[in-house]
Amino acid sequence: MQSPESVPASLYEKRKAVFPKAVDGRFRRLKWLVMIVTLGIYYITPWLRWDRGPYAPNQAVLVDLAHRRFYMFGIEIWPHEFYFVAGLLIMAGVGLFVITSAVGRAWCGYSCPQTVWTDLFQHVDRLIDGDRNAQLRLEAAPWGAEKIFKRAVKWTIYLAISFWTGGAWIMYFADAPTLTREFWAGDAAPVAYGTVAVLTATTFLFGGFMREQICVYMCPWPRIQTAMLDEKSLLVTYKDWRGEPRGSVKKAEKNPGGVGDCVDCNQCVAVCPTGYDIRNGPDIQCITCALCIDACDKVMVQLGRPRGLIDYATLEDCKLEREGQTPRPISRALFHTRTLIYVSVWSAIGFALLFALGNRQRLDISVQKDRNPPYMLMSGGELRNAYTVKLRNMESRPRPMQVTIDGLPGGTMWTDDMPSDKAARTLKFDVAADRADPMRFYVVAPAGTHPQHFEFKLKALDAEGGEDESKVRFDAPGEEE
Amino acid sequence: MSNKRIDEPTGVETVGHEWDGIEELNNPLPRWWLISFYMTIVFAIGYMVVYPAIPMLSKGTEGLWGWSSRGQLAKELDEAQAGRAATLAALAQVPIEQLPANPDLMRKAIAGGRAAFRVNCVQCHGSGAAGGIGYPNLNDDDWLWGGNLKEIETTLINGIRQPGNAQTRTSLMPNFGKDGILTPAQISDVADYVLSLSGKAPMNANGKLAFEANCVVCHGADAKGSRAVGAPNLSDAIWLYGGSKDQVVGSITKAHAGVMPAWGGKLDPVTIKMLAAYVHSLGGGEDFADAPTNPAAGTTGNAKP
């Protein structure tokens, strides 16, 4: 047993709240742009309309779980085509590799939902409480009327944003205007209310309070990325050979050449949304949002020193620069071999999906043979086989189609919806829009027919046309010829 | 063992253990993590109180909410039963003659009949309803007692050769050989003649004479049988008791008399109606001769909505 003195004061650490300072600069503006675009896409997409005619919903992007359809603008995905969705997910995964390989943790810094919503909530903080110093003062202040009021207002805004976020999510799964009406009337499905409640709670908690803790402690992506970053990856880097030793402007005047460019103003730490000091080197806590670059550049301009004491750089370039050589242009870092390999994999999947999409059949026949009994002897000595046939019409309009027996001499067929004396070698159907209903087909062949294979041929009779066939077995006594 | 020191580059204390030169830094966990951990413990205790959790000597604790997997199954079965109530009520209302005019109800009846068939009928007729020697095949188009919905329902309710049931399907063929009505040679001739009707044997003139003397009363002059008396058609390809010469001779010598239970006393009318619909749907079902059938089925063009 260890003596009590050797036990650390606390095994658990209270979160050190981060109060990032407002900053302006090119990366901050890029962040604004990304935030507007991503949040815009998220909140507005379900409300876009797309005319698909009378037999399909007119919502541009819709995951229709109840009817097993996935609509995305002009594309309609059926469950048996789910490989398109799987392909898109794989592309999203490889896309993260591409981004990481080219520009490091840009996903984390700009477009990760956790980053975007945290950024949004931090703007709310500044709007209500003021900038960093005011926030610090308010945090330290006792609970008085002002603090209670400001907290109440701020958390209400948090909650409103969270609710809107959770509410937008469910709009992807049903017709948005209808669902909105049902939601407020109390007529929506319980799962809709449950989803909104959960997403509101997580957005409120993760964006309002957990913030950088999600990235540092919970998210697997920073861990994966540390394995994917190498000396060719762009990182937000403090150029210590230029900055150290740190010293004030006065010190630099007294001792020119003895002091580095960093004046230890701590602006880079003050603006950091995760509260990290980039001068300690790359770390899991640095999401490479580059706000410290903006802050430092501003200070350098004021001091009349060249910008870029903190800048995007690769470890290779840092080495060159440290040795006094000219670093390579940034395009070299963006387009190195690994990135190009990822890009080619990514686009190969993309082209394969596009090719598959362009070539997919909009009609389909699938046949399942009855196996019990395998064949039937009819009173006239003929042999009958039964099949379950599905005609799949993936167009959003009814289509006339015909099914023909190809092979099986003397064979005729009828369905259980028609009298057997109407049996023929070709049957015509009006196949309903966007459906695949099972039908029972009886195929009868003359006495003495041997077991053999034949084909059901499906043909669309409208202008657009299209064909499909299915080869099946006809069972009978005796050996196959 | 304990050799704590401050790690130079990070300024963090080590835990004091060393494995082949590898040391571990003592970075504290965030406090919310600890709080979440305590919450899971509280949740687990609550879970153990309200749900069955702790094994005791004879059975486990039952939990305050009284949940059990058996109880949940019973509840779901009750719900499923309640969900079927409307369909069953509708089926009870509709006379079986009207069923084909109601495709939706017909489909449900067939599905229900399929399930009931699995329980009550497969023992003799087989899981594919293909029957066997002595047990009729229900898929084909040959019916001893009639193959429209109503006739099938009647057969189901009253059974075949059930004593004490006035409506039961009954036929009685004499034991031509066993009771000495025909000699074995005559029986052989009759068998040849009967088989010649479906082209399985050459024509036998003696057999034809004996057939006309003994058999036409029930089976008819053309040997096509009669549903009124349950006499099978002898000119077709389907033989309930086998179509080889030996089997036909055996049937004439000592007549078979298969039985089927009268399901009217065993199953409720809706189940029987569903069974009739299922059997009728197997491919050999006959339409009502005088009543117009499902109008949609009359044309080839609109088989499915």
Q: Is the peptide bond before A54 cis (omega within 30 degrees of 0)?
A: no
Residues of B in contact with A429 (CB under 8 A): 301-304
Q: Would you report the helix, strand and coil content of chain B in percent, each value rounded to 5?
A: 45, 10, 45
List residues of A whose CB lies inside 8 A of any B CB: 2, 6, 8, 10-15, 210, 213, 217, 370, 372-373, 376-381, 384, 386, 415-420, 422, 424, 427-432, 437, 439, 442, 447
More confident residue, A362 or A61: A61
| Residue B123 belongs to domain with CATH number | 1.10.760.10
Q: Are residues B264 and B160 in the same domain?
A: yes
Question: In this complex, do B237 and A377 lie within 8 Å of one another by their Cβ atoms?
Answer: yes
Residue A36 lies in a domain: yes
Q: Per residue in B114-133, pLDDT tens?
A: 999 999 999 999 999 999 99
Residue B109 lies in a domain: yes
Residue A3 lies in a domain: no
Q: Are residues A343 and A389 in the same domain?
A: no
- B38: contact with A, CB 8 A cutoff: no
Q: Are residues A98 and A187 in the same domain?
A: yes
Max CA separation in chain B (angstroms) = 120
Instruction: Please give the share of chain B, as a percent, with pLDDT higher than 70.
Output: 93
Q: Would you report the helix, strand and coil content of chain A in percent, each value rounded to 5?
A: 45, 20, 35
Q: For residue B286, name the pLDDT band (cuts at 50, 70, 90).
A: confident
**What φ, ψ does residue A387 adopt, rounded to 5°?**
-135, 145
Q: Are residues A346 and A465 in the same domain?
A: no
Residue A2 lies in a domain: no
Residue B76 lies in a domain: no
Residue A480 lies in a domain: no
Confidence at residue A258, expressed as pLDDT on a 0 to 100 scale: 80
A120: Cβ contacts below 8 Å, ≥ 6 apart: A35, A39, A161, A207
Q: Could you tell me if A171 and A43 are in contact, meaning their C-beta atoms sit under 8 angstroms apart?
A: no
Judged against a pLDDT cut of 50, whether residue A451 lies above it is answered with: yes
Look at residues A347, A256, A238 and name the one whose alpha carbon lies nearest to residue A300.
A238
Average pLDDT over residues A71-93: 90
Question: In this complex, do B238 and A418 lie within 8 Å of one another by their Cβ atoms?
Answer: no
Question: In this complex, do A12 and B30 lie within 8 Å of one another by their Cβ atoms?
Answer: yes
Judged against a pLDDT cut of 50, whether residue B162 lies above it is answered with: yes
Judged against a pLDDT cut of 50, whether residue A472 lies above it is answered with: yes
Total of domains in chain A: 2
- Residue A233 three-state SS: coil
Q: Are residues B31 and B51 in the same domain?
A: yes
Query: A19-33, A81-95, A318-332, B47-61: lowest mean pLDDT where?
Result: A318-332
Instruction: Please give the share of chain A, as a percent, with pLDDT higher than 90.
Output: 60
Q: How far is CA A75 from the centre of its chain?
A: 17
Residue B39 lies in a domain: yes
A118: Cβ contacts below 8 Å, ≥ 6 apart: A206, A207, A211, A212, A273
Domain residues for A64? Answer: 14-360
Q: For residue B301, name the pLDDT band (cuts at 50, 70, 90).
A: very low
Question: In this complex, do B303 and A13 lie within 8 Å of one another by their Cβ atoms?
Answer: no
B293: Cβ contacts below 8 Å, ≥ 6 apart: A419, B100, B287
DSSP state of A23: -
Residues of B in contact with A14 (CB under 8 A): 31
Q: Are residues B120 and B268 in the same domain?
A: yes
Confidence at residue A418, expressed as pLDDT on a 0 to 100 scale: 83
| Strand extents, DSSP E, A259-397 | 310-313, 363-369, 376-377, 383-393
Q: Are residues B28 and B12 in the same domain?
A: yes
Q: Are residues A356 and A391 in the same domain?
A: no
Confidence at residue A3, expressed as pLDDT on a 0 to 100 scale: 46
Q: Per residue in A385-418, pLDDT tens?
A: 999 999 998 888 889 999 999 999 999 999 988 8
Confidence at residue B2, expressed as pLDDT on a 0 to 100 scale: 60
Q: Where a domain ends, among A314, A335, A360? A: A360
B173-186 core/surface letters (b: 16 or more CB in 10 A; e: else): beebbeeeebeeeb
* DSSP string of B63-76, one letter each residue: -TT---HHHHHHHH
Return d(Cα A472, Cα A385) in angstroms, integer: 11
Question: In this complex, do A418 and B287 lie within 8 Å of one another by their Cβ atoms?
Answer: no
Backbone angle region of A63, left / alpha / beta, with phi > 0 → left and psi within -120 to 50 → alpha: beta
Question: In this complex, do A379 and B140 lie within 8 Å of one another by their Cβ atoms?
Answer: yes
For residue A478 the two structure tokens come to 């005796």
Distance from CA of B26 to the nearest CA of A (A): 8
Q: Are residues A94 and A48 in the same domain?
A: yes
Q: For residue A283, name the pLDDT band (cuts at 50, 70, 90).
A: confident
Total-model pTM: 0.75
Q: Where a domain ends, among A360, A393, A415? A: A360
Query: A223-232, B66-75, B114-123, B187-196: lowest mean pLDDT where?
Result: A223-232
Q: Are residues B136 and B13 in the same domain?
A: no
**Number of residues assigned to chain B:** 305
Q: Are residues B163 and B270 in the same domain?
A: yes
Return d(Cα B252, Cα B207) in angstroms, integer: 12
Q: Where a domain ends, among A328, A360, A392? A: A360
Q: How far is CA A39 from the centre of its chain?
A: 13
- B305: contact with A, CB 8 A cutoff: yes
Judged against a pLDDT cut of 60, whether residue B97 lies above it is answered with: yes
Return d(Cα A466, Cα A395) in angstroms, integer: 12
- B61: contact with A, CB 8 A cutoff: no
**What φ, ψ does residue A60 adopt, rounded to 5°?**
-60, -45
Q: Per residue in B193-229, pLDDT tens?
A: 999 998 888 999 999 999 999 999 999 999 999 988 8
Judged against a pLDDT cut of 70, whether residue B302 lies above it is answered with: no
Cα atoms found within 13 Å of the Cα of residue B79, Cβ hemisphere only? 6
Q: Are residues A122 and A141 in the same domain?
A: yes
Amino acid at A265: C
Average pLDDT over residues A130-150: 92
Question: In this complex, do B130 and A373 lie within 8 Å of one another by their Cβ atoms?
Answer: yes
Q: For residue A4, name the pLDDT band (cuts at 50, 70, 90).
A: very low
Residue A479 lies in a domain: no
Average pLDDT over residues B246-268: 93
Q: Are residues B271 and B127 in the same domain?
A: yes
Q: Looking at the partner chain, which of B31, B237, B301 has a beta carbon nearest the beta carbon of A378?
A: B237
**β-bridge mates for residue A389, sequence order:** A367, A439
- B14: contact with A, CB 8 A cutoff: no
Q: Are residues B243 and B137 in the same domain?
A: no
Residue B249 lies in a domain: yes
Look at residues B48, B79, B51, B78 and name the one whose alpha carbon lies nearest to residue B67.
B51
Q: Is the peptide bond before B100 cis (omega within 30 degrees of 0)?
A: no
Q: Are residues A287 and A399 in the same domain?
A: no
Best of B10, B141, B142 to disrupt the A interface (most A CBs within 10 Å) is: B141
Q: Are residues B239 and B271 in the same domain?
A: no
Average pLDDT over residues B16-44: 89
Residue B157 lies in a domain: yes
* ipTM of this predicted structure: 0.77
Average pLDDT over residues A369-373: 90
For residue A329 the two structure tokens come to 């242009």
Residue A120 lies in a domain: yes
Q: Looking at the partner chain, which of A2, A378, A422 has a beta carbon nearest the beta carbon of B2?
A: A2
Average pLDDT over residues B151-176: 93
Residue A459 lies in a domain: yes
Question: In this complex, do B198 and A2 lie within 8 Å of one another by their Cβ atoms?
Answer: no
For residue A104 the two structure tokens come to 């490091």
Residue B283 lies in a domain: yes
Q: Are residues A398 and A276 in the same domain?
A: no
For chain B, the average pLDDT equals: 88
Q: Are residues B120 and B223 in the same domain?
A: no
Q: Are residues A306 and A448 in the same domain?
A: no
Return d(Cα B46, Cα B38) in angstroms, integer: 12
Q: Could you tell me if B263 and B272 are in contact, meaning their C-beta atoms sit under 8 angstroms apart?
A: yes
Total of domains in chain B: 3
- B140: contact with A, CB 8 A cutoff: yes
Judged against a pLDDT cut of 80, whether residue A152 lies above it is answered with: yes
Q: Are residues B102 and B160 in the same domain?
A: yes
Question: In this complex, do B281 and A15 lie within 8 Å of one another by their Cβ atoms?
Answer: no
Judged against a pLDDT cut of 50, whether residue A246 lies above it is answered with: yes
Average pLDDT over residues B166-185: 92
Return d(Cα A295, Cα A29) in angstroms, integer: 13
Q: How far is CA A156 from the centre of its chain?
A: 29
Residue A278 lies in a domain: yes
Question: Which contiguous run of DSSP H or E holds residue A192?
Answer: helix A190-205
Judged against a pLDDT cut of 60, whether residue B251 lies above it is answered with: yes
Q: Are residues B110 and B162 in the same domain?
A: yes
Judged against a pLDDT cut of 80, whether residue A97 lies above it is answered with: yes
Confidence at residue B295, expressed as pLDDT on a 0 to 100 scale: 36
Question: In this complex, do A417 and B300 lie within 8 Å of one another by their Cβ atoms?
Answer: no
Q: Are residues A208 and A354 in the same domain?
A: yes
For chain A, the average pLDDT equals: 90
* Closest chain B residue to the Cα of A11, Cα to Cα: B28
Confidence at residue B76, expressed as pLDDT on a 0 to 100 scale: 96
Residues of B in contact with A419 (CB under 8 A): 287, 293, 297-298
Return d(Cα A378, Cα B139) in angstroms, integer: 9
Residue B78 lies in a domain: no
Domain residues for B37? Answer: 1-65
Q: Could you tell me if A89 and A330 are in contact, meaning their C-beta atoms sit under 8 angstroms apart?
A: no
A9: Cβ contacts below 8 Å, ≥ 6 apart: none
- Residue A144 three-state SS: coil
Q: Where a domain ends, among B65, B83, B112? A: B65
Distance from CA of B60 to the nearest CA of A (A): 33
Return d(Cα B165, Cα B108) in angstroms, integer: 30
Q: Are residues A106 and A226 in the same domain?
A: yes
Query: A122-131, A314-323, B102-111: lowest mean pLDDT where?
Result: A314-323
Q: Are residues A266 and A303 in the same domain?
A: yes
Confidence at residue A147, expressed as pLDDT on a 0 to 100 scale: 93
Residues of B in contact with A439 (CB under 8 A): 303-304
Residues of A in contact with B127 (CB under 8 A): 372
Residue B263 lies in a domain: yes
Question: Which contiguous run of DSSP H or E holds residue A238?
Answer: strand A235-238
Q: Looking at the partner chain, which of A384, A417, A419 has a beta carbon nearest the beta carbon of B304?
A: A417
Judged against a pLDDT cut of 60, whether residue B291 lies above it is answered with: no
**What φ, ψ does residue A327 adopt, rounded to 5°?**
-70, 155
Return d(Cα B167, Cα B145) in angstroms, integer: 12
